[in-house]
């Protein structure tokens, strides 16, 4: 529990460290983490989809669950949708319903991987008719984004091959570029196309959009409204994700994140459960860029990063899993905001390796619970969101939905 004495100790300690808590709190209050509609439905591995009681039966009900996450955390005012998983007859009704819950629709995610036609590729398929069909779906998603009031289309492409020689890699590259150019042309001003990469799965020999370099190159070719989306589970083991984040930030092409935790591959577990230091170090790079942008009063890349959760809650209760996830992100962001920049910069100038490393690590070691309680209190939110949600009676209330809700 947090009491006044613990808060006073925290404030005094941060004052000693030379940290301006007002600035830290201001930034913390701006943090928004989108949750995905698919995170509320039934999901599973390729071995089994577990059916849970109380799972939303429709996209409308998914929005109701997502609204709970925002209600108790104040962190998740928007929800990503996936087409066709969230296909509805009337998108303006979905928009109205969502907005009546105090949240809004965020990124629109096209699905180019669940149609038999796409077994050997979608926008990279050898058959022109299939490429046309896939491109039409991408364009449709831009139109849906317009209709639901979203400014982000977020594309992950499952295209790839399983065997050497299976297809012409360079032709596929050109077809992919062609389809994305056509999609890009559909964007309204102010809309963004986020390009997500992943080095394997479902294809295991080559993936057409395999890494951040390819996504960056494509985004650069397309134009300023195209940016890279970094999913924390989409890199080979050992990749220095915070480095590529810093690189993309500096090139002004970092569009967004899919947060999740991983130990082996694209595990899609709760963010920060196995790799909290990595997430913290990603935020270290982002806060550095934010500070630079603010001082220069010019570039605005870091400020408008679209943070999203992309996880598959197979064994966890859905809403608490989502609450845990956004709280973990908030905690790690809070820690990064406690870096003593003066100390760090001095150590770097003095070429003092150990002091510089310590300046970063010491922020990670701070106990930010008092800080988070203060911020929640100031915003009129429950100081312990998970506890408040579990005591709210919502879980009991949705049991009448029964078993067999929506799943992909
Ligand atoms: C797939 O591995 C990607 O992470 C996607 O971003 C995401 O999981 C998908 O769009 C949900 O279908
Ligand atoms: Zn993802
Ligand atoms: Zn993924
Ligand atoms: Zn993942």
Ligand nearest to the CA of 230: 2
Backbone angles phi, psi at 7, to 5 degrees: -65, -40
Q: Is residue 295 part of a domain?
A: yes
Instruction: List, for residues 91-117, the tens digit of each pLDDT value.
Output: 999 999 999 999 999 999 999 999 999
Which distant-in-sequence residues (6+ apart) come within 8 Å of 59 by Cβ?
Answer: 37, 81, 85, 86, 88, 94, 406
Within 8 A by CB and 6+ apart from 325, the residues are: 33, 35, 259, 270, 271, 272, 309, 311
Instruction: Determine the atom of ligand 1 nearest the C-alpha atom of 36.
Output: 11
The domain that holds 279 is classified in CATH as 3.20.20.150
**In-domain check, residue 147:** yes
Residue 277: per-residue pLDDT: 98
Give tens-digit pLDDT for 308-358.
999 999 999 999 999 999 999 999 999 999 999 999 999 999 999 999 999
- Quote the pLDDT of residue 100: 98
Closest-lying ligand to the alpha carbon of 233?
4
- The atom number, within ligand 1, closest to the CA of 85 reads 12
Residue nearest to atom 8 of ligand 1 (CA): 310
Ligand 1 first shell, C-beta below 6 A: 38, 82, 109, 156, 196, 198, 231, 258, 266, 310
* Domain ranges, residue 95: 29-339
Chunked mean pLDDT (size 10), the chain, 408 residues:
90 96 97 97 88 94 98 98 97 98 98 97 98 98 98 98 98 98 98 98 98 98 98 98 98 98 97 97 98 88 97 95 98 98 98 98 98 98 98 96 83
Domain membership flag for residue 263: yes
Nearest atom in ligand 1 to the alpha carbon of residue 233 is 4
CA of 39 from ligand 1 middle (Å) equals: 11
Which helix (H) or strand (E) is 309 found in, with range? strand 306-309
Residue 35 contacts residue 345 (beta carbons within 8 Å): no
Which pair of tokens denotes residue 89? 């007859």
> Among 83, 141, 157, 196, which is best to mutate for testing ligand 1, by the most ligand atoms less than 8 A from CB?
196
Closest CA relative to residue 82, chosen from 158, 23, 172: 158
Is 216 within a domain? yes
Going by CA atoms, what residue is nearest to atom 5 of ligand 1?
156
| 306 part of a folded domain | yes
Task: Give the ligand 1 atom nearest the CA of 196.
Answer: 6
The one-character DSSP state at 261 is: B
Q: For residues 340 and 47, give the distance between their C-alpha atoms in angstroms, rounded to a whole number.
A: 47
Which of 196, 183, 99, 80 minimizes the C-alpha distance to 141? Answer: 183
Taking the whole predicted model, whether its pTM rises above 0.90 is answered as yes
pLDDT the model gives residue 44: 87
- Whether residue 126 contacts residue 167, with contact meaning beta carbons closer than 8 Å, is answered with yes
Distance 23 CA to ligand 3 centre (A): 34
- Residue 60's SS3 state is helix
CA 385 to chain centre: 20
Closest Cα to atom 9, ligand 1: which residue? Answer: 156
Ligand 1 centroid distance, CA of 335 (Å): 28
Q: What are phi and psi of 33, to 5 degrees?
A: -125, 115
Let me know if residue 236 belongs to a domain: yes
Number of independent structural domains in the chain: 1
The per-residue pLDDT for 300 is 86
Is 70 inside a domain boundary?
yes
Strands (E), 149-262: 152-156, 160-161, 192-196, 206-207, 226-231, 254-259
Q: Is residue 155 part of a domain?
A: yes
């Amino acid at each position: 529990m947090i009491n006044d004495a613990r808060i006073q100790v925290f404030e005094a300690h941060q004052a000693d460290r030379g940290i301006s808590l007002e600035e830290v709190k201001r930034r913390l209050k701006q943090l928004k983490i989108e949750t995905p509609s698919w995170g509320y439905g039934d999901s599973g591995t390729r071995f089994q989809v577990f059916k849970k009681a109380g799972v939303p039966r429709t996209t409308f009900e998914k929005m109701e669950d997502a609204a709970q996450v925002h209600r108790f955390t104040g962190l998740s005012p928007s929800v990503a949708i996936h087409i066709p998983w969230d296909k509805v007859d009337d998108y303006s009704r979905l928009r109205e319903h969502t907005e009546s819950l105090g949240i809004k629709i965020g990124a629109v995610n096209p699905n180019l991987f669940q149609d038999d036609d796409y077994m050997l590729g979608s926008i990279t398929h050898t058959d022109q008719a299939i490429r046309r069909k896939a491109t039409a779906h991408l364009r449709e998603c831009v139109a849906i984004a317009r209709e639901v009031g979203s400014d982000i289309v977020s594309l992950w492409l499952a295209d790839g091959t399983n065997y050497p020689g299976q297809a012409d890699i360079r032709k596929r590259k050109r077809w992919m570029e062609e389809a994305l150019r056509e999609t890009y042309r559909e964007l309204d001003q102010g809309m963004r196309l986020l390009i997500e990469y992943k080095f394997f799965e479902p294809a295991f020999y080559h993936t057409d959009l395999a890494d951040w370099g390819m996504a960056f190159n494509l985004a650069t070719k397309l134009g300023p409204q195209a940016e890279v989306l970094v999913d924390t589970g989409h890199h080979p083991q050992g990749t220095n994700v915070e480095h590529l984040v810093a690189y993309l930030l500096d090139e002004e092409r970092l569009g967004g994140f899919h947060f999740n935790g991983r130990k082996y591959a694209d595990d899609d577990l709760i963010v920060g459960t196995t790799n909290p230091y990595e997430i913290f170090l990603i935020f270290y790079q982002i806060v550095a860029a934010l500070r630079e942008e603010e001082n220069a009063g010019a570039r605005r890349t870091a400020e408008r990063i679209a943070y999203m959760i992309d996880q598959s809650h197979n064994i966890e209760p859905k809403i608490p899993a989502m609450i845990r996830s956004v709280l973990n992100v908030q905690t790690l962001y809070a820690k990064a905001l406690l870096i003593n920049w003066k100390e760090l910069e001095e150590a770097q100038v003095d070429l003092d390796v150990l002091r510089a490393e310590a300046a970063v690590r010491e922020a990670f070691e701070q106990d930010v619970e008092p800080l988070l309680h203060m911020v929640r209190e100031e915003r009129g939110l429950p100081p312990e969101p998970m506890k408040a949600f579990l005591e709210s009676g919502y879980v009991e209330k949705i049991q009448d939905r029964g078993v067999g809700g929506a799943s992909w």
